[in-house]
Structure formats: structure tokens, C-alpha cells
């Protein structure tokens, strides 16, 4: 009996909301393929970040450095809309402040909301993008239920495989996964808008990415480049995979930053090429501290392995759940959920 793919196996199911202390909400714009996603940590969470892409769009990442003052965050924003989409964080902050959630700064409670954006303008057209109202709506929708995957939230307008031109790209999306070992859970939420192809790490199969000239087959970007294929000129920052990896373990800021670093190994397993000059790949790490790391609990080596694994799985799920859309300028972007390459 053949082994199932990483998307089909029940042991690979799960969601970032399996991590105690988190809620996730999406806002998907009704008039254009764009949106935002919020991961709420109302009781606070120790956080870290690692930015690997060369063209990031982020906010409040410096404060996550281990030597800096702030110790906990109260939400993480993932959004489309390129840098304009960072405005959605204002709505998240206002929503949290109204509920008295934030860092006590004597004159009020200041919600700490790091965030990152991806460039979804080829799909959305750029005139409609997430704003403060979108951030509020994502918070209103947040729950502990498994979040929807595919063409929702920050993944609504995500694309992938644009190295040979947007006309050959496919639909990206947002996905989630979790794994539990020794009573400790690690989960991931990934919005995949990659320049490269997405690959199932278990089978090595390219499951979505740049298509051939006739649009009926997958080109296999890695092999095409190594065979001398020439990529199209690209604007920096027009791609990017962003996400959150979270655990219920007790971690320090140093450990949380390390977890964000090794979580990128999961992107490297599932995306090729990755961390390019045109990507702003950014991963946040959250530790809600519900499970102490005692002698019998997994240590950082196991947690790191779990983090890379769930990031890879969530990336694959994001793409397998993506459905076809028509983007700006009439371009059609097939999604793997309703498209199969010709034999």
C-alpha cells in the first residue's frame, strides 16, 4: 500500500489553533482578491522573527530582537496589499485596546502587533487593499476553530510561480498544520505568495508553480533554470511567503527567535527557489507558555524539527486548497484544487 501524501494523511492534519492561547481570524475583501489574517494572543506570547527574503514589508520586527525591551506580543498580522496592507494593523491595535489588551504604559495599554505583508497586486489590481477596517473584521472573526485555507485572508490574492512571467503563474493561498510530540504542540499558518514552485517534500512532486507556454503543464522552475531558462525581469518585493509558527511551550525570546529561524527550513523544503531577491519571506514565532519544557518534554532540537515540519506541511496545504481566479488585466491564475496539469 502506497504511503499517502503529506496533505492526505490524517496524521498530518491539524491547525495552528491547536496551540492553546491562540485565536485566528480572516478578512477576505468582497470586491477583490485580497485580505488579511490575524493571530491573536490576548494573554500575550513571547515572540521572535526571522526575515530571509530580500524585499520584506514588515512592522514591529526590531522589538522582537532578544536584547530589546518588549517581552510579549498580543497579535500578529499577515496581510495582502503590499506595504499599504500594513494599515490593517491599526485596526487590530484599536480592537485590542478596546478590550484592555496590551502593554501597560501608564497612560493606557499599548497592543504590540508585529506584522508582515505580501504583494498580491497582480490579483487584486492594487486599488483595493486591507485597511484598518479589515484588521478589525479579522479580529471579529477570530476563534479557536481551525482557520479556513486557500483563497482567504492574507492568501486571497496570493500567487506563485511568477519567475517566467505572471501569465504563467498559479494561485497561491494560506494553509495551516500542527503536530504534537510529548504533550507539546507546534502549529503553523503560512500565506504562500512565492516566486518559486511549491513542492511536496514527501514525494518530491512539483504541485504548483510556473506553467509552460501553453499553460497546460508545470514547467519545474528549478530544472528550467538549471537548463538555462531565462527568468523574466521582476520588481523586487512582488512575491513573499509570510507566516506564523507557534507553540504552547515555555520559551525565552532567544529561543523564540531561534524557532523562527529554523522554521524557514520548512519553506526551503516546500518552495524552490526560495528567499530570493524578489521575495520578502518572513516568519514569526510565538510561544504561549502553556506547557513547561521539563525533563520529559521535547527540547529545542525536537521543537525545531516540529517547526520546520509544520511550516512545510502548511505551505503544501495552502497550495492544495487554492482555487482558480481571474486577476487584474484579465489574467487567469489556476488553483491546484481545480486544475490538473496535462499528461
Predicted confidence (pLDDT) at residue 293 exceeds the cutoff of 80? no
Q: What is the per-residue pLDDT across 236-262, written as a single tens digit (0 to 9) for each? A: 557 899 999 999 999 999 999 999 999
pLDDT value, residue 238: 78
For the cut 50, the answer to whether the pLDDT of residue 124 exceeds it is yes
pLDDT of residue 233: 66
Q: What is the mean pLDDT of the chain?
A: 91
Q: Is the pLDDT of residue 11 over 70?
A: no
Mean pLDDT of 216-237: 82
Instruction: With a cut of 90, say whether residue 140 has pLDDT above it.
Output: yes
Cell digits of residue 31: 470586491
- Rounded to an integer, the average pLDDT of 58-69 is 95
Cα–Cα distance between 245 and 16 in angstroms, integer? 8
Q: Is 60 exceeded by the pLDDT of residue 204? A: yes
| pLDDT for res 5 | 32
Give 25's strand partners. Answer: 38
pLDDT-based confidence at residue 81 (cuts at 50, 70, 90)? very high
Cell of 59: 512592522
> Which residues are registered as beta bridge partners of 283?
50, 243
Share of the chain above pLDDT 90, in %: 80
Range with the lowest mean pLDDT among 18-22, 34-38, 161-165? 161-165
Look-up of cell digits 504590540: 112
Work out the burial of residue 97: count CB atoms within 10 Å of its CB; fewer than 13 is exposed, 13-18 middle, 19 or more buried: middle
pLDDT score at 2: 32
Instruction: Tell me which residue of 316, 270, 331 sits closest to 172, measured CA to CA.
Output: 316
pLDDT band, very low/low/confident/very high, at 235 (cuts 50, 70, 90) = low
The predicted model scores a pTM of 0.93
Query: Mean pLDDT over residues 13-18, rounded?
Result: 94
CB–CB of 60/77 below 8 Å? no
- What is each CA distance from 271 to 294, 312, 326, in whole angstroms? 34, 9, 24
Among the listed residues 300, 222, 313, the one whose alpha carbon sits nearest the alpha carbon of residue 262: 300
The confidence score (pLDDT) of residue 3 equals 32
Q: What is the pLDDT of residue 278?
A: 84
Q: Measure Cα distances from 149 to 126, 203, 228 in Å.
A: 23, 22, 35
Look at residue 218 in the predicted model and tell me its pLDDT: 94
Spatial contact of 25 and 37, defined as CB atoms under 8 Å apart:
yes
Which pLDDT band, with edges at 50, 70 and 90, does 1 fall under? very low
Q: What is the 3-state secondary structure (H, E, C) of the chain?
A: CCCCCCCCCHHHCCCHHHCCCCEEEEEECCCCCCEEEEEEEEEEEEEEEEECCCCCCEECCHHHCCCCCCCCEEEEEEECCHHHHHHHHHHHHHHHHHCCCCEECCCCEECCCCEEECCCHHHHCCCCCCCHHHHHHHHHCCECCCCCCECCHHHCCCEECCCCCHHHCEECEEEEEEEEECCEEEEEEEEEECCCEEECCCCCCEEECCECCCCCCECCHHHHHHCCCCCCCCCCCCCEEEEEEEEEECCCHHHHHHHHHHHHHHHHHHEECCCCCCCCCEEEEEEEEEECCCCCCCCHHHHHHHHHHHHHHHHHHHHHCCCCEECHHHCEECCHHHCCCCC
CA distance 167 to 305: 36
pLDDT of residue 328: 81
Q: Which three cell numbers stand for residue 263?
A: 522554521
Counting residues of the chain whose pLDDT is more than 70, the rounded percentage is 94
Choose the most confident range, by mean pLDDT, from 51-55, 150-154, 273-277.
150-154
Give residue 294's pLDDT band: very low, low, confident or very high (50, 70, 90): low
Average the pLDDT over each of 61-75, 241-255, 285-299 and give the range with the smallest value.
285-299
Structure confidence at residue 342 (pLDDT): 84
pLDDT (mean) for 313-333? 93
- Please answer whether residues 283 and 58 qualify as being in contact, where contact means their C-beta atoms are separated by less than 8 angstroms: no
Topology (CATH level 3) of domain 10-326: 3.60.70
Segment among 73-77, 97-101, 226-230, 279-283 with least mean pLDDT: 226-230
How far CA 233 is from CA of 162, 165, 267, 273, 277, in Å, comes to 10, 8, 23, 16, 12
Amino acid at each position: 500500500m502506497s504511503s499517502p501524501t503529506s496533505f492526505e494523511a490524517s496524521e498530518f492534519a491539524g491547525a495552528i489553533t491547536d496551540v492553546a492561547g491562540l485565536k485566528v481570524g480572516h478578512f477576505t475583501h468582497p470586491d477583490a482578491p485580497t485580505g488579511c489574517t490575524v493571530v491573536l494572543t490576548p494573554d500575550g506570547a513571547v515572540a521572535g522573527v526571522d526575515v530571509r527574503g530580500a524585499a520584506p514589508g514588515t512592522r514591529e520586527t526590531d522589538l522582537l530582537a532578544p536584547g530589546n525591551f518588549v517581552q510579549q506580543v498580543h497579535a500578529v498580522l499577515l496581510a495582502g496589499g503590499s506595504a499599504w496592507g500594513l494599515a490593517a494593523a491599526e485596526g487590530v491595535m484599536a480592537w485590542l485596546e478596546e478590550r484592555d489588551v496590551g502593554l501597560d504604559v501608564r497612560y493606557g495599554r499599548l497592543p504590540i502587533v508585529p506584522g508582515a505583508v505580501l504583494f498580491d497586486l497582480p490579483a487584486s489590481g492594487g486599488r483595493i487593499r486591507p485597511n484598518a477596517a479589515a484588521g478589525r473584521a479579522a479580529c471579529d472573526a477570530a476563534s479557536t476553530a481551525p482557520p479556513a485555507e486557500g483563497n482567504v485572508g492574507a492568501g486571497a490574492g496570493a500567487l506563485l510561480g511568477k519567475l517566467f512571467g505572471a501569465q504563467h503563474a498559479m494561485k497561491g493561498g494560506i494553509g495551516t498544520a500542527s503536530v504534537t510530540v510529548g504533550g507539546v504542540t507546534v502549529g503553523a499558518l503560512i500565506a504562500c505568495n512565492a516566486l518559486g514552485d511549491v513542492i511536496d517534500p514527501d514525494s518530491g512532486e512539483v504541485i504548483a508553480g510556473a506553467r509552460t507556454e501553453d499553460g497546460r503543464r508545470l514547467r519545474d522552475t528549478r530544472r528550467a533554470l538549471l537548463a538555462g531558462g531565462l527568468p523574466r525581469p521582476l520588481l523586487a518585493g512582488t512575491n513573499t511567503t509570510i507566516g506564523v509558527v507557534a507553540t504552547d511551550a515555555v520559551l525565552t525570546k532567544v529561543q523564540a527567535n531561534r524557532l523562527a529561524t529554523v522554521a524557514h527550513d520548512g519553506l526551503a523544503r516546500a518552495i524552490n527557489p526560495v528567499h530570493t531577491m524578489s521575495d520578502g519571506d518572513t516568519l514569526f514565532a510565538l510561544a504561549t507558555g502553556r506547557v513547561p519544557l521539563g525533563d520529559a518534554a521535547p527540547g529545542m532540537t525536537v521543537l525545531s524539527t516540529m517547526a520546520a515540519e509544520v511550516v512545510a506541511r502548511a505551505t503544501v496545504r495552502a497550495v492544495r486548497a487554492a482555487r482558480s481566479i481571474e486577476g487584474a488585466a484579465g489574467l487567469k491564475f489556476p488553483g491546484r484544487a481545480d486544475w490538473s496539469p496535462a499528461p
